[in-house]
């Protein structure tokens, strides 16, 4: 990934509401989530949720797909893994620096 893409992804996650939305999508995995239940679970009005989902999608962290009349949003796991890999590449000059290493999601 290019540094510009990393900055865009991290900037999107730097907002508390977007971080909550992204984490909720990571938890549900590939099944994804419709905006209605997501907004209810996070106590967000539809317009606010839509705005934040658009920002996450623009950063490449969220995808959506139409399923009939509904949209299903999913975390973009490949993009998430790329961001994590970028942040931890060459960590501590090759020395183990975490007691429990972070693992990439294989969702």
Q: Residue 6 — very low, low, confident or very high, per pLDDT cuts 50/70/90?
A: very high
DSSP state for residue 100 in the 8-state scheme: S
Selecting from 3.20.20.80, 2.40.30.10, 1.10.10.10, 1.10.3810.10, what CATH number does the domain 3-89 have?
1.10.10.10
d(CA 94, CA 46): 46
This prediction's pTM:
0.85
Q: What are the tokens at 5?
A: 């893409």
Looking at the DSSP bridge assignments, the partners of residue 63 are 74
What pLDDT score does 90 carry?
Answer: 74
Sequence ranges of the domains in the chain: 3-89
What pLDDT score does 33 carry?
Answer: 96
Task: Give the CB-side neighbour count of residue 16, counting CA atoms within 13 A.
Answer: 2
Coil vs helix vs strand at 93: helix
């Amino acid at each position: 990934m290019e540094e510009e893409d990393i900055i865009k992804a991290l900037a999107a996650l730097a907002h508390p509401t977007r971080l909550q939305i992204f984490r909720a999508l990571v938890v549900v995995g590939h099944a994804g989530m419709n905006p209605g239940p997501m907004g209810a679970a996070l106590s967000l009005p539809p317009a606010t949720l839509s705005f934040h989902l658009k920002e996450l999608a623009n950063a490449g962290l969220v995808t959506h797909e139409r399923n009939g009349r509904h949209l299903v949003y999913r975390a973009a796991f490949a993009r998430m893994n790329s961001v994590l890999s970028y942040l931890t590449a060459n960590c501590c000059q090759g020395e183990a620096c975490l007691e429990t290493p972070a693992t990439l999601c294989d969702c």
